[in-house]
Amino acid sequence: MKTADVVLLGCGPVGALLANLLGQAGLRVEVFERDREIYALPRAVHFDGEVMRIFQAIGLAERIAQAARPSSQGMRFVNATGQTLMVRRGIDGPGPHGWAGNWYFHQPELEAILRDGLARFPNVTVHLGHEIADVDAIDAHFVVGCDGARSTVRRAIGSQQRDLGLHQPWLVVDLLCDPDSARVRALPDYTIQLCDPARPMTVVHVGGRRRRWEIMLMPGDDTARLTEPEIFWPMMARWLGPHDAVLERAAVYTFHSVVQEGWRRGRLLLAGDACHQTPPFLGQGMCAGMRDASNLAWKLAAVVRGESPDTLLDTYESERLPHVRTFIDLAVKLGAVLQETDPTAAAERDRRFAAGATLFDFPQPQLGPGDRIDAPPPVGMIFPQPRLVDGRLMDEAIGQRFAIVGDPALLAAERPDAVRLPGVGADWLAAHGLRAALLRPDRYIADIA
Ligand SMILES: Cc1cc2nc3c(=O)[nH]c(=O)nc-3n(C[C@H](O)[C@H](O)[C@H](O)COP(=O)(O)OP(=O)(O)OC[C@H]3O[C@@H](n4cnc5c(N)ncnc54)[C@H](O)[C@@H]3O)c2cc1C
């Protein structure tokens, strides 16, 4: 017998979430993580309401909600003179997933909560400080590479990289701001994308005293010296000075837009940055990895338990790849607006928005063709999470199973492995002209009546 059902390479946010999902499903899981400590440099600061719903599925939403800042506000693309070009709308109150639509957080704190969550499962073992160089030597039914942008598992699979065109170095800094400073108090809570051709920037209120600046590198910048006070503070002059904040941490990253084709070969699979990378202009890179984990976990559990044929796992990439591409393609388009450094082209761009700002929302794509996903939307779309009359959120009543929601008269149909929730989602179903929906464990719609 294999010593593990699933071995995960990497305990970043995606590996840690997938280990929680698989641990909860009762699988024997071993996680190998190269580093002893959680990665300390600045990375993700935003996740959306659908991702909070996935945290709810592993019983950690309340803890994460205490560590994160919910926001009803969106993101504004503003030019150097203050003209608003585009707005990603915010969401008032609990959004369609039953949680605030936008959350801001400190990635190391989130990763620590996800890792602590693993202690609940005696069937999950984490080996820190343990790099895997040879995946062939792993004794497990399945091996998932959650091993980031330079994935070892991806090399073993031989995936093909598709370059989506955007590669640009940026300086990323977190500042701890003085709450008594008038300049700090004047900063907005919404996210700003400053479309200034002299120096594009992103400004985010992470939470508490912490704020994030992402600063595009320009020709002539000396990367090694950018955080020296005499170079750093003049770049920040529009916002803050050295009396308003201290620099907590900084890193230079090249933002990439790539997807891999080939997320599976036999028992080897990929999730997260190992199979896609996006520029962070939508705050969706990690979110996409979390959606990978949610899609893959129930399929792995069903195959390991012998409830589904192994071919179910082939639907993972076909469903997820077009979905994540929609987000990356939009991030690349937004990047073209934000990263314009030619003043003439920037002036032309600003004239295009002279009649008013363009409003947009996060994409809500349909999954690609896959497990029963062979019909037009709403099949393959995520089902919202209403509150039940007893006060619980819908997913709490279902658990990690299939469910049928909707018209009580139809729910008598045989489907022994599915929970039945008569009357639930009635408004949504009526709006779509439907009587019932079959929901998968990841809450995407498998079928409708
Ligand atoms: C500046 C910046 C801002 C961002 N902002 C956002 C945002 O606001 N919202 C958002 O959703 N995303 C954002 N992202 C993206 C997000 O940070 C990543 O998508 C996310 O960290 C990827 O998680 P992961 O678990 O797939 O990979 P990683 O976090 O890279 O984790 C991979 C892990 O695998 C380990 N590993 C690698 N190889 C091996 C091996 N051979 N054996 C054992 N272990 C191994 C590594 O040590 C690492 O811990 C941002 C990224 C950057 C750089």
Looking at residue 372, its pLDDT comes to: 67
pLDDT digits (tens, 9 = 90+) for 123-135: 999 999 999 999 9
Q: Is ligand 1 within 6 A of the CB of residue 97?
A: no
pLDDT category of residue 375 using cuts at 50, 70 and 90: confident
Is 79 domain-assigned? Answer: no
Note whether 416 and 271 are same-domain residues. no
Question: Is the separation of the CB atoms in 227 and 251 below 8 Å?
Answer: no
Is 327 domain-assigned? Answer: no
Q: Is ligand 1 within 6 A of the CB of residue 105?
A: no
Note whether 403 and 310 are same-domain residues. no
Nearest CA to ligand 1 atom 51: 43
Is 402 domain-assigned? Answer: yes
Is 403 domain-assigned? Answer: yes
User: What b/e readout covers 137-150, taking b as 16+ CB neighbours within 10 angstroms?
Assistant: ebebbbbbbbbbee
Cα(33) to centroid(ligand 1), Å: 12
Last residue of a domain, one of 320, 343, 370: 320
For the chain, the farthest-separated pair of C-alpha atoms sits apart, in whole angstroms, at 72
pLDDT over 90 (residue 415): no
pLDDT digits (tens, 9 = 90+) for 101-150: 999 999 999 999 999 999 999 999 999 999 999 999 999 999 999 999 99
Q: How many domains does the chain have?
A: 2
Cα(206) to centroid(ligand 1), Å: 18
Per the structure block, which two tokens stand in for 415?
Answer: 């489907």
Cα(283) to centroid(ligand 1), Å: 13
Note whether 406 and 266 are same-domain residues. no
Question: Is the separation of the CB atoms in 288 and 124 below 8 Å?
Answer: no
Alpha-helical runs (H) found in 259-376: 285-304, 315-338, 343-352
Nearest CA to ligand 1 atom 2: 43
Is 83 domain-assigned? Answer: no
Nearest CA to ligand 1 atom 31: 12
CA distance 210 to 192: 15
Cα(242) to centroid(ligand 1), Å: 31
Average per-residue pLDDT for the chain: 95
Mean pLDDT of 330-348: 96
Note whether 309 and 420 are same-domain residues. no
The identity of residue 31, as a single letter, is: V
Containing domain of residue 436, as a range?
A: 394-448
Note whether 12 and 149 are same-domain residues. yes
Which atom of ligand 1 has the smallest separation from the CA of 273? Answer: 26
Note whether 14 and 151 are same-domain residues. yes
Question: Is the separation of the CB atoms in 204 and 274 below 8 Å?
Answer: no
Last residue of a domain, one of 289, 320, 351: 320
Note whether 311 and 423 are same-domain residues. no
pLDDT digits (tens, 9 = 90+) for 235-258: 999 999 999 999 999 999 999 999
Note whether 40 and 141 are same-domain residues. yes
pLDDT over 70 (residue 51): yes
Is 222 domain-assigned? Answer: no
Is 224 domain-assigned? Answer: no
Q: Is ligand 1 within 6 A of the CB of residue 370?
A: no
Last residue of a domain, one of 265, 296, 320: 320
The Cβ-side half-sphere exposure at 407, using a 13 Å CA radius, reads 11
Mean pLDDT of 304-330: 97
Note whether 285 and 423 are same-domain residues. no
Note whether 304 and 400 are same-domain residues. no
Note whether 312 and 424 are same-domain residues. no
pLDDT category of residue 417 using cuts at 50, 70 and 90: low
Which atom of ligand 1 has the smallest separation from the CA of 271? Answer: 26
CATH of residue 127's domain is 3.50.50.60
pLDDT digits (tens, 9 = 90+) for 150-203: 999 999 999 999 999 888 999 999 999 999 999 999 999 999 999 999 999 999
Note whether 106 and 21 are same-domain residues. yes
Mean pLDDT of 326-331: 97
Q: Is ligand 1 within 6 A of the CB of residue 69?
A: no
Question: Is the separation of the CB atoms in 281 and 181 below 8 Å?
Answer: no
Is 250 domain-assigned? Answer: no
Looking at residue 423, its pLDDT comes to: 85
